[in-house]
Structure 1
């Protein structure tokens, strides 16, 4: 649905309010649209009630935007985004992927509108960067941390759930290093899990800590207490490349893998269930001729990757995040593998990820 007109925007807010009253609810979301309440208060602490959440909201909401998209034949949609510098806004790739030329409009918390152009998109990390000329004075860049958040720390999801502009929901970091499925066939690694309420329209908005820094870019929600955000460490690798080149080259090894559980460990002769079993090697990929894949009837015929450059690999999530966050195309990595019961080292020179992906195992996609 398109939302490129203020009247349409107000209608969306009314629809969202009806849904909330009807019992579906918005979790702990609190809509703030900058309008004065019936009693003349702003709804932002004028009654003397304040909290750390109020302070973070006040400090960051002017940098959070509504992203509306118009596509071919009038199709479109909406999502969220946030300002990172004086010219650029970050959002999700899936928010803007159907946009036509000049088909992206953004609105700020003070109700100002701007037309945005798409600078770069990356399907594999679900990130996109927009350029905005004449950024409103109220908006300033939100800093993205370059570290993994701590499980249990409080965070706020800011954005526009169900078209309700300038909303905030509170939660904690529930988990890190999650692997998200992707339409590209390659998984999104190192994702952040939160129990902050996330709904359609939150996509692309920031997940911020109580100091106002961004700890993730909201990507998807499964339920009222289960949502995911793109890792800040991955975002800090992808976003500068999108601004500079319009694209980002992901490292690629060319294997499908699955976790080593007790049954596989016993069949292979491992003392403990750890590492990932190579189940397929893509022809003509960097791993072709270097790594050996297992067969259904003979799992012990495949290599088990247990370390990369001396860093232990216990599961596929660690393999994916290590490749995504610590390597680049052209790097030569040393893999420690268990082959036929013996531990040995092999080297693989990574390449840029191809457009297509190998057939995946039903367990988990590979790097």
Structure 2
């Protein structure tokens, strides 16, 4: 005797076969409910810490207005946002989702990472979001962006982390390392707002999109943001070292690489050295090819900027250069960049 299989929908809309519930659809529904509840819980927890940053600026005699987003990272009102959001600002006003408004002052900014730190001008203890350890991020994890795109207050988009460890050019031309790529939709006005994980912790500060591309959005990793925040609170700026050179990227012929045991295909050609600077004091000359700094291979100008952090200020380092047919090493003491 044959048994027919019939399909019915119960009152909840879940399909059943032969009177038995289809467990596959149940599991899918449960997963979607769990995802939705996670996003809702994160938004409820983090939204009070997200502010609309409104700026009145003056450039070249012209007055203008701008806006972006920011995230409160301490109860006494420290706020992270993008440098390009507040660049040129004369006055800064913050608005919360509940309509509360208060002023803010600039504590410090770092164009090299497109980050800035503000202080809310209020005596109230504010809701804040915690910074996550971005080293633990993995592609595929949930990413939720909260901000004020195009002036729409408290807008939420969600997606995943598409990639980690990307690099992106800041407006001043410097390369920002450790960028988080996400497909959570970002639009003008999201800049400076938080990208958060499923635990409600900030994993990045939203900073840029690729115009004309779908799903290519970027955030400065939270570990970079924490470093910049700490440096600005300690020194009023992010301290970096310089050698006093004018440099450009040059290719390394295979013959040179083989002769001197080099693995990189490019290096830094020294076009000039600053009078009285660290490079001149070390004995470097125009025409030298810089191939390593403290044992780290240098293949681009960005590599030099990456290696010369605050730890190298006034501390001896070893530069390795190719000069003619020789490979030379010089001790150098970098100084702080003004």
Q: Secondary structure of 1:109's partner?
A: coil
Q: Where does residue 278 of structure 2 map in the other structure?
A: 286
1:183-332 pair list within 5 angstroms = 183=172, 187-196=174-183, 197-223=185-211, 224-255=214-245, 256-258=247-249, 260=251, 264-266=252-254, 268-270=256-258, 272-274=263-265, 276-284=267-275, 285-288=277-280, 290-294=283-287, 302-306=288-292, 308-313=293-298, 317-324=302-309, 327-332=311-316
The normalised TM-score by structure 2 is 0.73
**Greater relative CO, 1 or 2 (CA 8 Å, sep 6+):** 1
- More strand by proportion, 1 or 2? 2
CA shift in 2, pair 1:317/1:109, >3 Å: same
Residues 1:53 and 2:39 aligned together: yes
Q: Write the mapping of 1:56-67 to structure 2, written as runs, cut at 5 A.
A: 56-67=42-53
Q: Which residue of 2 aligns with 1:362?
A: none
CA contact (8 A) 2:269 2:290 kept: yes
Contact 2:170 2:176 in 1 (8 A): no
Superposed displacement of residue 179, structure 1: 4.2
Secondary structure of the equivalent of 1:50?
A: helix
Computing the radius of gyration from Cα coordinates, the structure with the larger value is 2
Offset, 1:77: 0.4
For this pair of structures, how many residues does the alignment match? 292
**Would you say the 8 A contact 2:167–2:177 is kept in 1?**
yes
Q: Match for residue 19 of structure 2?
A: none
Q: Indicate the residue corresponding to 1:79 in structure 2.
A: 68
* Further displaced range: 141-150 or 105-114: 141-150
Q: State the superposition RMSD in angstroms.
A: 3.1
**Contact 1:146/1:236 (8 A) holds in 2:** no
Q: Is the 8 A contact 1:151 1:176 kept in 2?
A: no
Question: How far off its partner does 1:275 sit?
Answer: 5.4
Do the aligned residues in 1 keep the contact of 2:145 with 2:193 (CA within 8 Å)? yes
How far the C-alpha of 1:251 sits from its partner, in A, is: 1.8
1:124/1:219 Cα in 2 relative to 1: closer, same or farther (>3 Å)? Answer: same
CA deviations on 1:182-231 (whole Å, 9 max, x unpaired) are 33x5x143140413322211111122233333232222222333233334
- How far apart are the structure 2 equivalents of 1:282 and 1:112? 53
- Alignment partner of 2:200: what SS? coil
Q: Within the alignment, does 1:105 sit opposite 2:93 as a pair? A: yes
- Mind listing any 5+ residue stretches in structure 2 that lack a counterpart? 1-32
8 Å contact kept, 1:209–1:215? yes
More moved, 140-149 vs 82-91: 140-149
Q: Alpha-carbon deviations, 1:309-336, whole Å to 9, x = none? A: 3344565554433324x73422322234
Which residue does the alignment assign to 1:11? none
Contact 1:104 1:117 in 2 (8 A): yes
Distance 2:137 2:322 in 1: 32
Whether contact under 8 Å (2:290, 2:298) holds in the other structure is no
Unmatched 5+ stretches in structure 1: 1-46, 295-301, 355-367
SS in 1 for 2:279: coil
- When residues 181 and 267 of structure 1 are mapped into structure 2, their CA distance, relative to the original with a 3 A threshold, is farther
Q: Secondary structure at the match of 1:211?
A: coil
Deviations 1:105-147 (CA, angstroms, capped at 9, x unpaired): 1111222211112222233332221111336656124225364
2:178 & 2:270 partners in 1: Cα distance?
24
What per-residue deviation string (whole Å, max 9, x for no partner) do you get for residues 272-293 of structure 1?
A: 4445233434423422354445
* Alpha-carbon distance between aligned partners in 2 of 1:59 and 1:234, rounded to the nearest angstrom: 23
Aligned pairs for 1:14-163 (under 5 A) are 50-72=36-58, 75-86=64-75, 87-100=77-90, 103-134=91-122, 139-145=127-133, 147=135, 149-163=137-151
Give the Å deviation of 1:82. 0.5
SS at match of 2:163: strand
